[in-house]
């Protein structure tokens, strides 16, 4: 590792992360046919098991704190600073090996290491998103009903509504007041915090709901958690007490919630799954699992030949929109600034276009894996399996990386000893987007990567520790190749 271990360990202690990896590269499983591939755990050495477990512990502690895009940016900046990365600004050194991070409106960011080759010759870019399906408060959310104070919500990303009832929810985010002051709110993650719950209907009295289809058992407008119940006095119900609490605790009124970004997310802590502890259950693994793998890779990477970027984008779950999503020009404006810094007055816009055309991208995003209860949802010969390595997503219908770039990626992973598999949905029976479509619009070579995760878009999804580790190693290989 090239950055200061003392600085990194100091930050690890602050964040509660487990300390790093055992030195050395573990023995890899050679490529094989999909149905005959052994699990990554087969033949794993004791040293490698220690390495995989240490990485998983770091990940669980990170994702426990990084539950929204803003908290993910906050945690990533702390790690980046400890690893010797500095905030980018025009006029900073652009010599090879310089390490920087750049934050876009607290909701997306880029980490990068300047390569030995000039930026005009292209870069290696690992891109993932850091937003996850969740509930968000409406602009005027607080209302009273049947003796309760409730919060009106909207959903961010695709969810199954019924999965969000009767689970503990935490309220995270901030409120921006008209005077310019920002009030941060985090309720529900600490052990002594209250939580918020959307009450489902008991089976004793749910006759009127039994004819609904599963996606409509709870309608979107019914996803309103309890915010309070104690009445203030004989004339004022629970809403009045919640209103007073917000004023007294945070110095905000109900009108201030119009300029707020407050999200309700599952309050569960990440946990190991199974007697063998080979799996991880956690909220937000789509796609902060991929983000963490790429973050750790660039923090620990050697100075690369090509400039290496890790792009962490917002709003993928709702179409990559807004000025913090991948559809914005944020990343390309940053690349242009770096070219200007390297080239000076010689820089022209065609230099950016040619540099992007010469760049390589891995768009990393998790995808469903074969579910042991419903394996028929996949066609087995092209389906991704937990603990079988990194997924190369082969969609067809014009959505694949071109064959020559796919071959380059295969060679990269085989040379680095990275186990990999392919992932193709049943024809006409599945799908999902990544950042890849947005980035390929700029004429870059883009391939979609991933690892299988069970129950993505649910409040508590399941990943494999070994897949997480190999996705990290694949990012290292991509940055350093």
Q: What is the mean pLDDT of residues 122-133?
A: 97
pTM, two decimals, is 0.91
> For residues 200 and 361, what is the distance between their CA atoms, to the nearest angstrom?
44
Please write the tens of the pLDDT for every residue from 88-126: 999 999 999 999 999 999 999 999 999 999 999 999 999
Please write the tens of the pLDDT for every residue from 226-255: 999 988 776 778 899 999 999 999 999 999
Residue 67 and residue 108 in one domain: yes
Confidence of residue 32 (pLDDT cuts 50, 70, 90): low
Domain boundary among 266, 301, 318: 266
CATH number at residue 225: 2.30.250.10
Residue 103 and residue 194 in one domain: no
318, exposed or middle or buried, with CB in 10 Å at 0-12, 13-18, 19+?
Answer: middle
Residue 357 and residue 411 in one domain: yes
273 in any annotated domain = no
Cα–Cα distance list, 275 to 17, 48, 230, 271, 278 (Å):
23, 19, 43, 12, 8
Which pLDDT score, from 0 to 100, does residue 3 have?
41
343 in any annotated domain = yes
Confidence of residue 25 (pLDDT cuts 50, 70, 90): very low
274 in any annotated domain = no
304 in any annotated domain = yes
Residue 252 and residue 378 in one domain: no
Residue 396 and residue 434 in one domain: yes
Domain of residue 446: give its range: 5-132+283-480
Strands (E), 231-340: 260-266, 271-273, 279-282, 307-313
CATH number at residue 73: 3.40.630.10
182 in any annotated domain = yes
136 contacts 155 by C-beta, under 8 angstroms: yes
Residue 297 and residue 430 in one domain: yes
Residue 138 and residue 127 in one domain: no
How many Cβ atoms sit within 10 Å of the Cβ of residue 423? Answer: 25
Q: Which residue in 349, 356, 352 sits closest to 438, CA to CA? A: 356
Residues 345, 350, 353, 359, Cα dihedral to 10°: -60
Residues 456, 319, 296, 110, Cα dihedral to 10°: -170
Q: What is the mean pLDDT of residues 360-387?
A: 91
Confidence of residue 396 (pLDDT cuts 50, 70, 90): confident
Which pLDDT score, from 0 to 100, does residue 215 have?
82
Which pLDDT score, from 0 to 100, does residue 19 have?
39
414 contacts 477 by C-beta, under 8 angstroms: no
């Amino acid at each position: 590792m090239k950055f200061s271990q003392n600085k990194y360990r100091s930050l690890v202690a602050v964040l509660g992360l487990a300390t790093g990896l055992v030195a050395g590269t573990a023995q890899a499983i050679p490529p094989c046919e999909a149905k005959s591939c052994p699990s990554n755990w087969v033949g794993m050495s004791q040293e490698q098991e220690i390495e995989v477990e240490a990485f998983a512990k770091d990940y669980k502690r990170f994702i426990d704190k990084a539950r929204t895009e803003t908290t993910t940016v906050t945690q990533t900046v702390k790690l980046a600073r400890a690893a010797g990365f500095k905030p980018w600004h025009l006029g900073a050194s652009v010599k090879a090996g310089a390490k920087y991070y750049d934050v876009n409106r607290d909701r997306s960011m880029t980490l990068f290491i300047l390569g030995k080759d000039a930026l005009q010759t292209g870069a290696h870019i690992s891109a993932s998103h850091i937003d996850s399906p969740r509930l968000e408060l409406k602009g005027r959310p607080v209302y009273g009903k049947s003796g309760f104070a409730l919060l009106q919500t909207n959903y961010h990303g695709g969810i199954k509504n019924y999965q969000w009832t009767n689970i503990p929810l935490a309220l995270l985010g901030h409120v921006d007041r008209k005077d310019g002051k920002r009030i941060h709110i985090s309720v529900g993650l600490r052990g002594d915090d209250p939580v918020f719950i959307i009450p489902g209907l008991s089976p004793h009295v749910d006759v009127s709901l039994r004819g609904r289809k599963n996606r409509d058992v709870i309608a979107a407008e019914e996803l309103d958690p309890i915010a309070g119940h104690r009445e203030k006095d004989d004339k004022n119900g629970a809403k009045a007490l919640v209103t007073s609490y917000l004023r007294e605790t945070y110095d905000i009124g109900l009108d201030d919630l119009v300029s707020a970004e407050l999200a309700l997310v599952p309050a569960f802590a990440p946990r190991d799954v199974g007697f063998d502890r080979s799996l991880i259950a956690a909220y937000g693994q789509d796609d902060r699992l991929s983000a963490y793998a790429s973050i750790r890779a660039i923090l620990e990477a050697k100075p690369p030949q090509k400039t290496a970027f890790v792009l962490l984008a917002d709003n993928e779950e709702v179409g990559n929109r807004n000025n913090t999503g991948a559809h914005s020009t944020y990343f390309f404006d940053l690349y242009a600034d770096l070219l200007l810094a390297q080239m000076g007055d010689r820089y022209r816009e065609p230099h950016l276009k040619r540099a992007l055309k010469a760049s390589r991208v891995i768009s990393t995003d998790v995808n469903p894996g074969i579910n042991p209860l419903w394996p028929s949802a996949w066609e087995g010969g092209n389906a991704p399996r937990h603990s079988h390595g990194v997924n190369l997503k082969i969609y067809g219908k014009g959505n694949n990386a071109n064959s020559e770039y796919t071959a380059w990626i295969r060679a990269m992973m085989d040379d680095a000893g990275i186990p990999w598999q392919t992932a193709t949905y049943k024809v006409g029976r599945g799908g999902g987007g990544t950042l890849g479509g947005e980035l390929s619009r700029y004429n870059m070579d883009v391939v979609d990567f991933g690892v299988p995760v069970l129950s993505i878009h649910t409040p508590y999804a399941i990943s494999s520790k070994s897949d997480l580790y190999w996705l990290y190693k694949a990012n290292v290989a991509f940055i350093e190749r």
